[in-house]
Structure 1
């Protein structure tokens, strides 16, 4: 017997070592359906199949009692269609937030621009749908990232449907927005969509990074964040409409107007979150302080090194997750008021309102017609 195992070590182990399939074999399916019979590939060295390797398909039953014909039926048609799925589960969080009260600023903004750009009705409808889907899906994600409990005076989507389901719904709506993009005619729509969607996420990343690390950016850094995060959706709207416009408007530069509008929108939100009773009823009193948001008034308040500013930084760094006590909120708000941060922000908004109206008049001259709807939209935003 010993003589039978007198081979070298490598030869000895080759007798007992399991045979692994080659790369070429791995590329082949382990199971094939041939004439309603599953043929299992065992990759034997002699190339033959075992007698019991063929399993009748029609009417066969798996060990769990499910007919194999049912299993095969689920995959026989190739790529599964989303149309056979009940969309209530994936759309429920989005449908909920889409029904909450809204001033519909963006829809009115599109209608106002349309009086200049003369976008075909079908394209205008698609752009409204795209912008609306992106806006509401981003709100669902924002509320999760900010740990917000209220949105427009109602419970946030993730508090009702769960965080995981809300994230999934928001991501699904992003895909639906891209699907709707295919209805537009301009060859640059996909490029524009990708650029501005990347800008939105990069701006949000800065906002979240500063909050997580309690980092106080400069005003210039803050404006850069706003230009990406808030300005991105306005730019997307204008660029898509210009691409679909029936008028030649490429020579008209609306960048400064759109940038100012995005900045005003965000800074106004920062200010109203701290000062507006309406905001308090819809999102909670000074809700930005609950989430630790580094807003423009807070940047102004924390730019310096006196003991009071150091104290506020300490509060933000150690506040933890969840609501800040009413006493701490009132203390920080009082420091902002005393240090001139609130007056500074209000004066800045007043100056921006004048600049935006000047840019509007310049655009009216370029297009050769006034735009009273757009001016009305803007004046509705004034503080």
Structure 2
């Protein structure tokens, strides 16, 4: 069997090019630049072969050229991320992505599924062409982890099984942490320094922080609502971090960590019922917000973000410091810090046992 170049027809990649045409936060690329400070991946290597899925290149063929390893790793991670979003939007029945209609509402579900899977395998081929068995091993392992995490997320949602906090964390480490670890793992396969340093604890915490922060923003940030539907996690029936906390918070103010069925508070039962409805009713979703405020769920989530940030900063210092990575962390934290509720002129988030008649609201949401 000859090693023939693969030429992906451009029209089969239209959904991918569509979603790639609207840039996201580009956090993964920024993290790769930060870890380069530690890993020092050599700048170039000759005669690398890579399948091009770049939207700015009209020729999506497989080409032989002098390739910058770091640029190729960034491109592989970006293509996997964008392809996974095509699938996520189908699985979550999303309406908007980055402020635009989701790809499957334009190109159809079947086209988007095939396109996303196609891009996964194009990325695998590009990884193979990097010429490292370790890189290929990392790629396969983290793609398995990613799909396991996504599977658990879908299973809990569709079976209405409320995960424990520890189960949620395991899912996120698989799902969100997968591409983070893959990026660093690919870099370590070619690193000239810190080849054997264990970055996994740091990378897992970065993935956790990123996801829990996103969960908070999804339910509480007015700016986020402009590019996605209002409180979209409620419409998707998603067990995000604050939603899990609210459902598991007992009448006595104690968080239930029991697996399987458990006794829920009136507030928890109401939120679970709303979640099952997959509602698009804004008034119902605002009521769900209020339930979470009263349970202290946004306060709890914000405190978790703060705790994770402290751990990440400590881990960075233990690894010798990384100023660019600290700056990325601070940039991400700005949005978290903006999210606070106003009560009697003080900034605070809802707590358990909110006194009757008190007005706990997010300061940056319009409740009129």
User: Do these two structures clear the TM 0.5 threshold for a shared fold by scoring above it?
Assistant: yes
Take 1:353 and 1:82, find their aligned partners in 2: how far apart are those partners?
43
Is the CA contact (8 Å cut-off) linking 1:123 and 1:183 kept in structure 2?
A: no
Deviations, residues 262-295 of structure 1 (Å, cap 9, x unaligned) = 1001100100000111210111110000100000
2:152 aligns with: 206
Tell me the equivalent position of 1:285.
Answer: 230
Corresponding residue number in structure 2 for 1:296: 241
Structure 1 residue 100 corresponds to structure 2 residue 46: no
Map residues 330-349 of structure 1 onto 2, 5 A cutoff. Answer: 330-349=286-305
Matched, 1:155 2:101: yes
User: Can you list the C-alpha shifts for 1:122-146, whole angstroms capped at 9, x where unaligned?
Assistant: 2212211111111000011000000
Contact 1:126 1:183 in 2 (8 A): no
2:159 counterpart of 1:242: no
TM-score with structure 2 length normalisation?
A: 0.77
CA gap of 1:349–1:79, structure 2 versus 1, over 3 A, is closer
Q: CA deviation at 1:185?
A: 3.4
Q: 2:280 aligns with which of 301, 319, 324?
A: 324
Other-structure match for 1:314:
273
Alignment counterpart, residue 258 of structure 1, candidates 197, 203, 207: 203
2:362 is aligned to none
* 8 Å CA contact retained: 1:211, 1:292: yes
1:38-187 mapped onto 2 (5 Å cutoff): 83=7, 87-121=9-43, 122-187=68-133
Match of 1:33 in 2: none
Distance 1:336 1:126, change over 3 A: same
Residue of structure 1 aligned with 2:309, choices 347, 353, 358: 353
Check whether the contact 2:189–2:195 (CA below 8 A) recurs between aligned residues: no
Higher helix share: 1
Higher gyration radius (CA): 1
Partner of 1:29: none
Quickly say closer, same or farther: Cα 1:208–1:119, change in 2 above 3 A.
same
Residue 50 of structure 1 is matched in structure 2 by none
Q: CA RMSD in A?
A: 1.8
Pairing 1:270–2:215 present: yes
- Give 1:248 deviation, angstroms: 4.6
Cα pair distance change 1:79/1:107, threshold 3 Å: closer
5+ residue gaps, structure 1, are 1-77, 365-369
C-alpha spacing 1:240/1:271, structure 2 compared with 1 (3 Å): same
The residue matched to 1:324 in structure 2 has which SS?
Answer: coil
Asked if 2 retains the 8 angstrom alpha-carbon contact of 1:185 and 1:244, the reply is no
- Please state how far the C-alpha of 1:219 moved relative to its aligned partner: 0.3
In 2 relative to 1, CA 356–248 (structure 1 residues): closer, same or farther, beyond 3 Å? closer
Q: Deviations over 1:94-139 (max 9, x none)?
A: 0111111322111111111112211122221221111111100001
Q: Give the equivalent residue in structure 2 for 1:65.
A: none
The TM-score, its normalising length taken from structure 1, stands at 0.74
Q: State the SS of the aligned residue for 2:133.
A: coil
**TM-superposition CA deviations, 1:32-85 (whole Å, max 9, x none):** xxxxxxxxxxxxxxxxxxxxxxxxxxxxxxxxxxxxxxxxxxxxxx999853x7
SS of equivalent to 1:120: coil
Q: Structure 1 CA distance, aligned partners of 2:5 and 2:305?
A: 50
Conserved 8 A contact 1:227-1:259: yes
Provide the aligned length of Structure 1 versus Structure 2: 295
Matches of 1:142 and 1:148, distance apart in 2? 8
Q: Hey, what's the Cα distance between the residues in 2 that align with 1:227 and 1:345?
A: 17
Q: Judge conservation of contact 2:237–2:275 (CA < 8 Å) in 1.
A: yes
Q: 1:223 aligns with which of 157, 160, 169?
A: 169
Query: Within 2, Cα distance between the matches of 1:94 and 1:309?
Result: 39
Residue aligning to 1:26: none
Match in the other structure for 2:330: 379
CA deviation map 1:308-341 (0-9, x unaligned): 2222222223x15xx5211110111100001111
Unaligned runs of 5+ in 2: 44-67, 251-263, 337-368
